[in-house]
A and B are shown apart, each in its own frame.
Chain A
Amino acid sequence: MLNLWYNYILLFLGLIPLIGSGCIVFVGQRNIKLIRKIALNSSLFTLVLASLLWVQFDSFFFKFQFITKIVLIPSLDLNIYLGLDGISLLFVYLTCFLFPLCILFNWNNVKSLYKDYIILLLLMESFLILTFTSLDLLMFYVFFETVLIPIFLIIGIWGPRRRRIRASFLLFFYTLFGSILMLFAILVINLQVGSFDYQLLFLCNFSEIKQKFLWLCFFLSFSAKIPMMPFHIWLPEAHVEAPTTGSVILAGILLKLGSYGFLRFSIPLFPYASVYYLPLVYTICIISIIYSSLTAIRQSDLKKVIAYASVAHMNTIILGLFSLNIQGIEGSILQMISHGIVSSALFFLVGILYDRYHTRLLKYYGGIVQVMPVFISILFLCIFANCSLPGTSNFIGELCLFSGVAQDNIFVTIFGAFGIILSGVYSLWLYNKLSFGNLKVQYISKFIDITYREFHVLLPLLFLLILLGIYPNIIIEKLHLISLYYKI
């Protein structure tokens, strides 16, 4: 029995939301209560299982744990091959943690096609879990691509404005362009190794020219996902046009797919190329940090500010990853998790404003502290976490990260740390504009503070934010063994 648990738990974890969405298919369109119940219960059940995994995970065991292997096509060497290590455990937990909150947030603010929305959300959850746990390179690609289809439909159908179609197309094709080159790279790898098994690929050496080419292919795919500088156009568009939960998942998890890909594939499989391309990565990261921070300052749309802020943060994370030492790697992973928490909390907050007043433009807001005190105090915490105030998880992450980068290159650190100052500028500016000043009664006349449900959506996020700021060891102790591997 225990054996069965260990061997199939990951597949089970990935399939529960799928089964949930399969159940919802047979529920009538009008029966919203039952749909909600099934969706929330299945996603909560996933969270419980993920917590069990968290408890059972042995952080002193170097290999992959809970390995599931199911042979789909023996002659083509196509397997579903899942496993968990410290990194993927964190991302799986983040996924399982965010989705119940999303479903809870959408309790009654999706006006049309609620059933389809929930089905797509659950499908996305299961594909994300499978992506983060799959150890088979081809299957990783398959799930990585499949996640695109639900988010494409979510933005395209439920986006609030007409421009949503452009946004969904941008999202789809920017990410597809990169990942189609990754398919090519995967095929080239398979041609040499003859297998897609990730643990087998560890043992292989690629020639230097091949490494450079393959790394570039992977880089194009992941950097479009993160997004790094030339490929970042889709992100603000997609965030602005997406419904709230769509952008929460986009910022919270989908962007992490890119950095996860770097961590899982690019750096370990092509160590020579990652060192070779280090200057390129550093340059692109610094440009995107400073550029997107400066752009964030001059936005008029609330969501765009947060979107550009998350571009800056994600690029800081990549800076940490490529410092290739323990502090940098651990700090950037911690920063990924805390960015997942903070940016999704911010998007929830903007979504709460949008649900009430149906605008996201900054000029219609002002002096909200007088009428929505609870909202503003939560926003206060999140904004200060966003500019990494000590006591929040972002602070620990950025401290570790930059101390790692400083060991490698001091100039890069200086430029990168400039992004922290700029993040303070746009975050405080945003907070100031929203909460203080005169109440603009000429635009908005009726104010409501956040409701009980919305408060409880935000509470777990705030709790984690503070907890990881005070005691980050919960996460970091899972990472010590893994990050040793990345040290050069």
Chain B
Amino acid sequence: MFKNIERYLFSWFFFPQILENLENILENLPILPELFLLTATLLLLVYGMVKNKDSYNYLIVTEFTRISVVILSITFGLVWVNLGISGKLLYENILVLDFGSSFMKLFCLFVSIVCLIMSRSALDRSRSACFEYFILYLFVVFGVMFFISSVDLFTMFLALEIQSICLYALVSLNKGSGYGVEAGIKFFVLGATSSVILIFGISMLYGAAGSTNLFHLYNIFLYHVPNLLWNTVDAGMFCLTIFNLKLILGVLFIFIGLFFKITIVPFHMWAPDVYEGAPISIVIFVSTVPKIAVTYILCKLAGFFFAHIYFVWQSLFIVAGLLSVVIGTIMAVRQFKIKRFIAYSSITHMGYILLFISAFTFVSLQYCICYLFVYVITILSLWGVLLVLENNFGKSLDSFYDWGGIFYSERFLAIILAITLLSLGGLPPFSGFFGKYLFFKSLLLSDMYIIALFLIVFSLLSIYYYIKIIKIIFFDSKIKFLVIKKKIDFSLAFLINIFLIVILFFFHCDIVWSLSEKIIWSFYVVI
């Protein structure tokens, strides 16, 4: 009787009101999604403390996966409601709420939900996860969400730190293996160094311009660039003109600090080791979500806030981008371990993204976002295939030679894998070609003919190593594996989804196009 009343009350009294007032609530409290995520995570932490068991427990991991997926989905819904709000500055201009940031948050949440579900089976195999894993994971997502919507350099730094510190712990989760320890230490030391560089850059910029707020900085760069950039020193008979090193180095250091996070050469050293040593569920996360966030912020900084001092950072972007394309490609040719290979190939792709940004037109930023979507979805599909293969074979497939002739035993997966790899290599008619086409178009639009010609020939080398894997899959002799289980699990379902997206992207990219246009426009709407 009592239960019925409760249900009655809940369904007829509270629920419609909440739904009706949700938009009102969000209007008054626009960071409700983040707050909800934080509160839910803390509650989950308390619940986990109660349920705590030291060793790995199948039931607890399953339960926590479900709960965290539900939490993330609710956050997704809340952000979705926020999608309509455009160009709103919050809390004394430290956060911004516009279409671009909301959509990027949605994308990050989607990817993190996918990662969580996909890597469920990998957790069972590595047996290293306990309930802290999920708490840390949710905290990282929380940090990413704040990072995306921040428009103050300090907020940005703090959000980045929340994200990084949790990731340090997550990366070194493979306590048993030597690679895991190496990955954890490397990631921690280099990540901390990058944070230091970032904060140093921020402080120098603060010293030069007197503010950390990006909108203030925008105005300062817009109106006072000559005064700021050159100090005129009255030295008796001469007037010496000196570059304002504080400003220039500040801007460069901020970018370098961010480059660390998206593995740009020469700040890429941690990537292969971390990819190899960290648990695969975390690797999937590290290779997608922080990159989406940081790329979006880089687009925003370079394309809008620091646009008026483009001559300070453009050459850095070009050099770093070119270096990471070249070195990533050359290093990837010799790899035979799958995770290291993916690390180097992602370095190459991030180099492409930097070059997109350095091309520095409205259209090229838009293309950059398009490319990012294509890349993230393709790489997710690649990881998905890897996970399903490992599931089916019941062991981890570290080297490419374990994949020899999987076409003969796992036909469907092999074809998906081939399509994914060809798409990463940028061969038509897959979505990767679309991305590459946009890349060269944006370079040509800003008159970088020589770079474009160089890269277009250089991309042959990157196609070579993708084709080499296809050769291993299709042409090599069969390796007899005992296929342990062939159940269709969550990961396969997601895999099919992603696979469809890869195929259909070419035909649906009009949606992506208009989305990316809106995202880039939303930079400009705020003022």
Contacts and interface: CB of A to CB of B under 8 A. Distances in A.
Interface in A142-185: 142-143, 145-146, 149, 152-153, 156-157, 164-165, 168-169, 172-173, 176-177, 180-181, 183-184
Contact of A141 (B428, B441, B464): B428
Contacts of B25: none
Contacts of B475: 156-157, 164-165, 168
A156 B460 contact: no
Contact of A145 (B427, B441, B457, B513): B427
B453 A184 contact: yes
Given A145-B427, A165-B475, A184 B452 contact: yes
B432 to A, nearest CB: 12
Given A75-B510, A149-B422, A184-B453, A191 B444 contact: yes
- Contact-residue bracket for chain B: 20 to 34
A72 interface: yes
Contact of B429 (A76, A146, A157, A183): A146
Contacts of B474: 153, 156-157
A88 interface: no
A75 B440 CA distance: 17
B463 interface: yes
B269 interface: no
A190 B456 CA distance: 16
A165 B437 CA distance: 29
A74 interface: yes
A141 B457 CA distance: 16
A187 interface: yes
A278 interface: no
A191 B444 CA distance: 8
Interface string B449-468: 00011001101100110010
A180 B422 contact: no
A1 B461 CA distance: 50
Most chain A C-beta atoms within 10 Å of own C-beta, residue among B428, B453, B459, B463: B428
Given A146-B428, A156-B474, A165-B475, A190 B453 contact: no
Contact of A169 (B407, B428, B471): B471
Given A142-B428, A191-B444, A173 B513 contact: no
Select the residue from A141, A142, A152 with max chain B CB neighbours within 10 A: A142
A241 to B, nearest CB: 11
Interface string A96-136: 00000000000000000000000000000000000000000
A73 interface: yes
Interface in B17-34: none
A180 B513 contact: no
B433 interface: yes
A1 to B, nearest CB: 27
B219 interface: no
Nearest to A72: B507
A180 B459 contact: yes
A188 interface: yes
Contact of A173 (B407, B427, B464, B514): B464
Contact of B460 (A143, A180, A187): A180
B463 to A, nearest CB: 7
A73 B444 contact: no
Contacts of A168: 471, 475
B445 interface: yes
B509 interface: yes
A176 B463 CA distance: 9
B130 to A, nearest CB: 44
Interface string B415-453: 000000010000111000100010011001100000011
Interface string A180-218: 110110011011000000000000000000000000000
Contact of A187 (B444, B457, B514): B444
Interface string A33-54: 0000000000000000000000
Nearest to B436: A183
Interface residues of A, number: 32
Interface string B358-399: 000000000000000000000000000000000000000000
Interface in B494-516: 506-507, 509-510, 513-514
A73 B467 contact: no
Contacts of B440: 183-184, 187
A173 B428 contact: no
Interface string A346-383: 00000000000000000000000000000000000000
A175 to B, nearest CB: 11
Contact of B514 (A75, A141, A149): A75
Nearest to B419: A149
Nearest to A184: B456
Contacts of A188: 444
B457 A180 contact: yes
A120 to B, nearest CB: 11
A242 to B, nearest CB: 13
A73 B456 contact: no
Given A141-B428, A176-B460, A180-B460, A187 B441 contact: yes
A187 to B, nearest CB: 5
Interface string B284-328: 000000000000000000000000000000000000000000000
A157 B472 CA distance: 11
A76 B471 CA distance: 34
A37 B104 CA distance: 50
Contact of A142 (B433, B445, B463, B464): B433
A181 B453 CA distance: 8
Nearest to A145: B428
Contacts of B428: 141-143, 145-146
B456 A180 contact: yes
B460 A149 contact: no
Nearest to A29: B411
A74 B510 contact: yes
B456 A149 contact: no
A187 B447 CA distance: 12
B507 A183 contact: no
Contacts of B510: 72-75
Contacts of B445: 191
B467 A142 contact: no
Contacts of B506: 72
A190 B463 contact: no
Interface in A50-89: 72-76
A173 B464 CA distance: 8
A114 to B, nearest CB: 14
B513 A169 contact: no
A75 B518 CA distance: 14
Contacts of B433: 142, 145
Interface string A398-428: 0000000000000000000000000000000
A76 B513 contact: yes
Nearest to B456: A184
A191 B363 CA distance: 14
Nearest to B459: A180
A18 to B, nearest CB: 12
A169 B441 CA distance: 28
Nearest to B506: A72
Nearest to B445: A191
A142 B509 CA distance: 16
Contacts of A156: 471, 474-475
B278 to A, nearest CB: 34
Contacts of B453: 184
Given A146-B429, A164-B475, 12 more contacts: A72-B506, A73-B510, A75-B514, A138-B437, A145-B433, A146-B428, A153-B474, A156-B474, A156-B475, A169-B467, A187-B452, A191-B441
**4 A-B pairs with least C-beta separation:** A142-B428, A156-B475, A145-B428, A73-B510
14 contacts: A75-B514, A76-B513, A138-B437, A142-B429, A142-B433, A143-B429, A145-B427, A177-B460, A180-B456, A180-B457, A184-B453, A187-B444, A187-B452, A191-B444
Interface of A: 72-76, 138, 141-143, 145-146, 149, 152-153, 156-157, 164-165, 168-169, 172-173, 176-177, 180-181, 183-184, 187-188, 190-191
